Amino acid sequence: MENIIIIGDVHGQINTLKALIEQLPKGTKIVFVGDLIDRGINSKEVIQFIIDNNYDCVLGNHEQFMIDSIGKITGNIAPKDIWFKACNGGEETFASYYFDRKDRRYPSGFDTELYLEHIDFLKTLPLFKEYKFKGFDNLVVSHSIIQPFWKKREVQEFTYTERTSILWNRIVTNENTFIKGLDKDYGTNIYNVFGHTYLFEPFIGEHVADIDCGAAYYKKLVALEYPSMRVFEQENIDLSF
């Protein structure tokens, strides 16, 4: 590959996402770090946009929330309450399926068919994506940091605890105190790009990069081009409800 562009946590900000993509070099491969959904009001539209454009994406913890919510539709199991509490965004995502597929101004009843189609798609998302580059470290995209576990993966699959950490682990502060200590290759020769933990500015290190810059909180959506390391930013324009 020549270049690939990784996009941070979108969280339902469809207009901001489209504006960011307009900035990107045409024809460059795009991959998302997960957390396409929740908090923003257009989560359904973001998932469909990724499907329609056949973009690569890895699983985020918010996609896992939605997968686990299947019981709210089927009635077979209780959904995880945490998705609908503590500002995690389940209510906004769930509500997006009550609006017409083409015009969200018109409520049309819950679109069970599309909801289940999207859950089937989310179930196909991998925990990570690896891309090989001649003359550079291989790029590994994950939702949270995967670098510390990567060498172990060469001899066995990730354990449940490791998988959970790759989806959920908060590894930095806004002062970047901890991430600097984790910015090493661990003998893996990969470059790990992820999101999950919201920073005011992207952290672009020697071996890892965190590119979640708070689109969910009406800040900005960030993309990183690898291996050129160019950064693209789009201020949130999804401010109207």
Q: What is the mean pLDDT of residues 122-136?
A: 95
- The pLDDT of residue 241 is 42
- Domains within the chain, CATH numbers bracketed: 4-235 (3.60.21.10)
- The pLDDT of residue 23 is 97
Does residue 237 contact residue 16 with C-beta atoms inside 8 Å?
Answer: yes
Distance in angstroms between the alpha carbons of the first and the last residue of the chain: 40
- Percent of the chain scoring above 70 in pLDDT: 86
Banded model confidence at residue 76, pLDDT cuts 50, 70, 90? very low
Which pTM was predicted? 0.91
- The pLDDT of residue 171 is 72
Q: Mean pLDDT, the chain, as a whole number?
A: 88
Angle between helices 112-123 and 43-53 (to 10 degrees): 60
Q: How many helices (H) and strands (E) does the chain have?
A: 9, 10
Q: What is the mean pLDDT of residues 4-33?
A: 97
- Percent of the chain scoring above 90 in pLDDT: 62
- The pLDDT of residue 94 is 86
The closest of 241, 174, 175 to 214, measured between CA atoms, is 174
- The pLDDT of residue 28 is 95
Give the CA-trace dihedral at 8, 123, 191, 144, to 10 degrees. Answer: 60
Q: Give 69-77's long-range contacts (Cβ < 8 A, gap of 24+).
A: 69/94, 69/119, 70/116, 70/119, 73/112, 73/115, 73/116
Cα(217)–Cα(208) distance, rounded to whole angstroms? 23
- The pLDDT of residue 112 is 85
Banded model confidence at residue 69, pLDDT cuts 50, 70, 90? confident
Does residue 158 contact residue 175 with C-beta atoms inside 8 Å?
Answer: no
Q: What is the mean pLDDT of residues 146-162?
A: 87
Q: What is the CA radius of gyration of the chain?
A: 17
